[in-house]
Structure 1
Amino acid sequence: MLNKVAILLLAAACATAAQAKVDATQAARLGQELTPLGGERAGNASGSIPPWTGGITAPPAGYTPGMHHLDPFAADKEAYRVNAQNLAQYRDLLTPGTQALLQENPDFYLRVFPSRRSASLPQRIYDATRFNAEHAELIADGNGIQGAAAGTPFPIPQNGLEVIWNHITRYRGEQLHMVTNQAAVLASGSYNLLKMERDAYFVYGREGMSPQDLNNTLFFYRYTVVAPSKLAGSALLVQETIDQVLATRRAWRFNRGDRRVRRLPSLAYESAQPDTYGLATADTVDVYNGAPDRYEWKLIGKREMLVPYNSYQVHQKGLPYERILGAKTLNPELLRYEPHRVWVVEASLRTGYSHPFAKRRFYLDEDSWQILASDLYDAQGKLIRAQEVHPVNYYDVPMVSSTVEALYDFEGHRYFVDGLDNNEPMYDFRANLNPRDFTPQALRRDGN
């Protein structure tokens, strides 16, 4: 007789998705008129978006691993600015969240530069994506995937769920050690930095992985607070599953006060994300993460928009954090926006569930599947928060990921920023990590 776990696994494997893998004819478009990840290889008709020609394939002159990444486009000239005065001219190219930032903050503006389609990934990720196009499927009513262990699972997406899974599973390297700071900037402009050491070990996307090897595991993650001294030593551990309905995310918290490791009963959906001053829910970390089951997902389509991109200036080494953190917004003089095509996906809260964000709209880069921005609405349809991701190509990997993320609270006139690393050692993408470093026992050992 099958036990309960076996029955659940069998049900998940047999569940069908409304749309899934594509046929060989469609898959053959990858690497031809489509990029290896499924973006449009060609530029747009006006020329404001150029063709994709492989992205950054070599670091700029003078760069050596371990440095903060030099700006390959430092010689680019600003094309124009968008502000509250000329907003009407560019409204169709901006997210509602970006429009609100401009309208509510007269000193905020967008510095728009020529579009550089700089996204690139290792060839093995492109190869895996080509395989996935004909084999990957949504399972368990869209709460999991099968048939993929690396690469973009749905490079030619048929629905909103497939698009959001492309973001959740996007390539972020294999392991990573980093030291970053985060802050909640209050309406007064005051803030305190929280400094953390962070480690991540990615299972999905790891070289040599097969779908059978994943064991429903996406990645392992932990952080330890370094400063301020009154919080130093507190830590969080996460074991991230792929299908979080079948097996929920496992999380533990080490409290330096009583020096005990406690299992968190829930770190998902609308629960507060620790150490974010109440500004971030668990599922706004990385803009969206976790199970998609509480929302209905709609693929709106693809749009040309002005979005953060190639944000090397705000990434530069030695930049004082007080210069980055403005009173109401990030310092616009350090931010770069470009014209790019983005996938637009809307998530509407299902009947019977509660969440402060009843509707969410996401804007995903066609070249990397990184979410670049999101709009967050309450149950009355009011825009209450917005997120912006300022990415770079970490060309020593290579991969596209954020250097700084900001979550703006329009009601509280405050914002939360994460990823400040300008005065810390640069990320180590070859850190000596293994799954044994991400257990409650390891958390307890390291905390004592």
Structure 2
Amino acid sequence: MCLFTSGAAMAAVSAEEAAKLGNELTPIGAEKAGNGDEIPAWTGGLTAPPVDQPEEGIYPNPFPDDKPLFKIDQSNVDEYKDRLSPGQIATINAYSDFFIPVYQTRRTAAYPDRLMKKAGENATTVSLTADGNGLQDYQTGVPFPIPKKGVEVIFNHITRYRGGSIIRNVAQVTPQANGDFSPVKFSEHLADRVALADYEPGKDDNVLFYFKQVITAPSRLAGNVLLVHETLDQVEEARRAWLYNSGQRRVRRAPQVAYDGPGTAADGQRTTDNFDLYNGAPDRYDWELVGKKEMYIPYNSYRLTDRSLSYDDIVQPGHLNPELLRYELHRVWHVRAKLKDGERHIYGQRDFYVDEDSWQIAVIDHYDGRGELWRVAEAHMLQGYDIGVPSYAVETLYDLLSGRYLALGLTNEEDDPYTFNVKARSNEFTPAALRRAGVR
């Protein structure tokens, strides 16, 4: 079944090339071999709890004895510049107390077997629509395990498996330059279309997933709800979004929840399409696949979910506490997006660095309309080893001009941070359901 079949498709890869998957490439397209010394071979990822897990959705560190191999700070950053993004270098140079602790590389990323198998099928059948803004013959799994275009890499991130139907309770902070912050707390329910109990093949085929976000604190915002039906081709059919304002008890369509519209309760520190590092329609940019490189990226960031830590332990002026961070050397795809002539967005250019093992974006450098480096996003990867799903422990977005930043996804002080395999029906994700979700 096709999501869209109008126009000439951009061809998928040949069967001969797809045969590399599961051989010299992992089932979803990463290089299986290591680099000889620092990056090991991929051997299947971390697919079972290696430590005692107190409850679902809580992830004790599976590598508690690992120590940093070295640290990158202002004194030695030039030695490692080839393995850092310009934004990472600028962040180190902006803060004398910030550093990147580099650990042993562990290739823990893995997805359920059925989805890794599906990637092999997608390689020869899935293609971009003629305008490059949607996919043809796509249902699930990695659409482009052997990408040929920059936008294909981005679609691998956008469509990646997130766990089916999940509820997470998380906090977002936007510290002032002096480090003061007040958490905004969310209860979020995300459900893949095919994970709904009443899923009907052929119904809502252009919807990738449904998303409902309820603000639970502070009291002045509590009860406000965002509902999104995330369409895959958002040029053909715009994202469906609604907002429920608990004070007014009104549900309104929310077309501003797109592109560079303001992010929810983010104090101006992120755009809508900064959420999940990047989301939404790709049509305002020209996408270039620059290539692949080895890079130090946040990885296996279990310490950031440590239940013994408070948010005060993690959040510091200007940046997260570097003592709690973990970076590893991994291969990434470098994709450059440049704003098209005549299009509008506050970011004139974005450079994406996407982890080859998970297709999750790890780092993005954002440039303003003058070409000046402005914001640096990092996603602190964590492998959900009990369910076989890579995810983010915390997303950060550092503003190099204001000295402020945003951190989203904190769970240390939250009850029931993640619940998986939640039974859900489509009527839970309708505008009529917003008022029920927003009752204080």
Asked if TM exceeds 0.5, the reply is: yes
The one-character-per-residue Cα deviations of 1:412-432 (angstroms, maximum 9, x if unpaired) are 110011001012123001222
SS in 1 for 2:27: coil
The CA deviation string for residues 41-83 of structure 1, in whole angstroms up to 9 with x for no partner, is 00013x1000000001211131254252011111212111100
CA positional deviation for 1:333: 0.4
Residues 228 and 241, structure 2, Cα contact 8 Å, conserved in 1: yes
Per-residue CA deviations over 1:168-196 (Å, capped at 9, x if unaligned) read 00111111111100011111211111011
Quick check: 1:150–1:205 contact (8 Å CA) kept in 2?
A: no
CA–CA distance in structure 2, aligned partners of residues 356 and 57 of structure 1: 40
Q: Identity percentage over the alignment?
A: 45
1:131 pairs, out of 98, 106, 121, with 121
- What SS class does the counterpart of residue 26 from structure 2 fall into? coil
State which of 246, 268, 279 in structure 2 corresponds to 1:289.
279
Distance between the aligned counterparts of 2:194 and 2:360, measured in 1? 16
Give the Å deviation of 1:274: 2.3
> 1:103 aligns to what?
93
User: Structure 2 residue aligned with 1:270, among 260, 273, 297?
Assistant: 260
Does the C-alpha gap of structure 1 residues 205 and 230 become closer, same or farther in structure 2, counting only changes over 3 Å?
closer
Aligned residue in 2 for 1:6: none
| Residue in 1 that maps onto 2:319 | 329
Structure 1 stretch 47-56 or stretch 429-438: which is displaced more?
A: 429-438
Q: Secondary structure at the match of 1:100?
A: helix
Q: 1:38 aligns with which of 16, 29, 44?
A: 29
Note closer, same or farther for the CA distance 1:31–1:404 as it changes in structure 2 (3 Å cut).
same
Contact 1:364 1:371 in 2 (8 A): yes
Provide closer, same or farther for how the CA distance between residues 436 and 407 of structure 1 changes in structure 2, counting only shifts above 3 A: same
Q: Do the aligned residues in 1 keep the contact of 2:214 with 2:437 (CA within 8 Å)?
A: no
Q: Deviations over 1:138-160 (max 9, x none)?
A: 01411110212111000000110
Question: 1:13 Cα deviation (Å)?
Answer: 1.4
The AA in structure 2 aligned to 1:429 is: F
Match of 1:231 in 2: 221
Partner of 1:388: 378
Map of 1:26 onto structure 2:
17
- Secondary structure of the residue aligned to 1:392 is strand
Tell me which residue corresponds to 1:349: 339
Of 101, 111, 114, which aligns to 1:121?
A: 111
CA gap 1:214/1:153 in 2 versus in 1, 3 angstroms = farther
Unaligned runs of 5+ in 2: none
- Cα deviation, residue 266, structure 1: 2.6
Output the CA distance in 2 between the equivalents of 1:280 and 1:405.
11
Whole-angstrom distance in 2 between the partners of 1:211 and 1:130: 22
User: Is 1:159 aligned to residue 149 of structure 2?
Assistant: yes
Matched pairs, number: 437
Separation (CA, whole Å) in 1 of partners of 2:329 and 2:113: 26
Mapping for residues 105-254 of structure 1, pairs under 5 Å: 105-203=95-193, 212=202, 215-254=205-244
Letter matched to residue 49 of structure 1: I
**Matched ranges for 1:89-100 at <5 A:** 89-100=79-90
Change (3 A) 1:210 1:170: farther
Change (3 A) 1:441 1:214: closer
Q: How does 1:1-20 map onto structure 2 within 5 Å?
A: 12-18=4-10, 20=11
Note closer, same or farther for the CA distance 1:155–1:338 as it changes in structure 2 (3 Å cut). same
- 1:211 and 1:50, CA in 2 relative to 1: closer, same or farther beyond 3 A? farther
- Asked if 2 retains the 8 angstrom alpha-carbon contact of 1:149 and 1:209, the reply is no
Q: Is contact 1:149-1:214 (8 Å) kept?
A: no
TM-score, structure 1 as length reference = 0.94
Q: Where does structure 1 differ by over 4 angstroms across 4 or more consecutive aligned residues?
A: 204-214
Q: Which TM-score applies when normalising by structure 2?
A: 0.96
Q: 1:100 to 1:433 in 2, by over 3 A?
A: same
Post-superposition offset of 1:163: 0.6
The answer to whether the Cα contact below 8 Å between 1:97 and 1:385 also exists between their aligned partners in 2 is: yes
The 3 A distance-change label for structure 1 pair 206 and 372 is: farther
In the alignment, the residues of structure 1 paired with residue 228 and residue 195 of structure 2 have an alpha-carbon distance, to the nearest angstrom, of 18
Query: For the structure 1 residues 303 and 36, does the alpha-carbon distance in structure 2 shift closer, same or farther, using more than 3 Å as the test?
Result: same
